[in-house]
Amino acid sequence: QQQVKQSPQSLIVQKGGISIINCAYENTAFDYFPWYQQFPGKGPALLIAIRPDVSEKKEGRFTISFNKSAKQFSLHIMDSQPGDSATYFCAPYRDNAGNMLTFGGGTRLMVKP
Amino acid sequence: NAGVTQTPKFRVLKTGQSMTLLCAQDMNHEYMYWYRQDPGMGLRLIHYSVGEGTTAKGEVPDGYNVSRLKKQNFLLGLESAAPSQTSVYFCASRSNREGQGALGRANVLTFGAGSRLTVL
């Protein structure tokens, strides 16, 4: 069974600081590494994702760093804002494959003004 | 284009009652998933389907049944509700078409807005 471990469970950051969330996985067949963002009362939505052929991807203040040999990837939020306060999930999977798709346990981020 | 629609949004049941949650998607997606979300437990996969007429167990399938009689619909049933099934349920779907490789885009999950179920 696929295992995905996410850390930390919760994170408090001051406005303007850097938020870092980590995800470790076991299945080396994964070929897509997304982070989902969920606001209270809403379903999760894709935030940013990376393929294993690159080590880093940046979209605005959000960056994914990928370490294939360590089977880990992380989300970095630069200049964190109160509006970034949400729960973040990693959910690596095999694209174009119909199998179980499991999520990390989630990280609740609070950005203090 | 509605995406993924879940009904009902809220429901209160008594222990032992049965009910069905409906998930409908209009994106012609092959894969569909039911998750439950509990405080501090993240999203846990209940059942999933890789196509019309097929279903498979996820991480926490006990106490639930599913059916995928039509491609666009994925039903989650509780035959005899228990207080432990009090949760928020999310349906999600995604395509099985090959993703766009190095461009980074793939068949991402699209979620519904959730169904909050309380079992007394």
Nearest C-alpha neighbor of A40 from the set A91, A105, A103, A108: A108
Residue B18: Cβ within 10 Å count: 10
The band of B96, judged by pLDDT with boundaries at 50, 70 and 90, is confident
The beta-strand segments (E) located in A3-95 are: 4-7, 10-14, 19-25, 33-38, 45-50, 56-59, 62-67, 72-77, 86-90
Q: Token pair 């606001």 is at which residue? A: A39
Give the nearest chain A residue to B6 (CA atoms).
Answer: A43
Does residue B16 surpass a pLDDT of 50? yes
Q: Answer yes or no: do A96 and B92 touch at CB < 8 A.
A: no
What is the residue-averaged pLDDT of chain A? Answer: 92
Q: What is the residue-wise DSSP string for B68-92?
A: -SSTTEEEEEESS--GGG-EEEEEE
- Top-ranked range on mean pLDDT: pick from A74-83, B2-11, B49-58: A74-83
Provide the b/e sequence for A42-59 (b: ≥16 CB within 10 Å).
Answer: ebbebbbbbbeeeeebee
Summarize the confidence of residues B88-106 as an average pLDDT: 72
Cα–Cα distance for residue pair B88/B10, rounded to 1 Å: 9
Superfamily for the A4-112 domain? Immunoglobulins (2.60.40.10)
Using CB atoms within 10 Å of the CB of residue B93, give its burial: 0 to 12 exposed, 13 to 18 middle, 19+ buried.
Answer: buried
Q: For B108, which of A34, A51, A105 is closest by C-beta distance? A: A34
CB-CB: which of B33, B43, B108 is closest to A46? B108
Contact list, B41 vs chain A (CB under 8 Å)? 105
Contact residues on chain A for B59, CB-CB shorter than 8 A? 1, 100, 102
Q: Which residue of A has its CA nearest to B43?
A: A103
On the question of a cis peptide bond just before residue A52, with omega within 30 degrees of 0, the verdict is: no
Does the distance separating the beta carbons of B98 and A95 come in below 8 Å? yes
- Where exactly are the structural domains of chain A? 4-112
Query: Cα torsion for A31, B42, A23, A38, to the nearest 10°?
Result: 80
- 3-class secondary-structure state, position A28: coil
Amino acid at B37: Q
B4-97+109-119: CATH, from 3.30.565.10, 2.60.40.10, 3.90.1150.10, 1.10.760.10: 2.60.40.10
pLDDT per position as a tens digit, B20-58: 999 999 999 999 999 999 986 789 999 999 999 999 999
Domain boundary assignment for chain B: 4-97+109-119
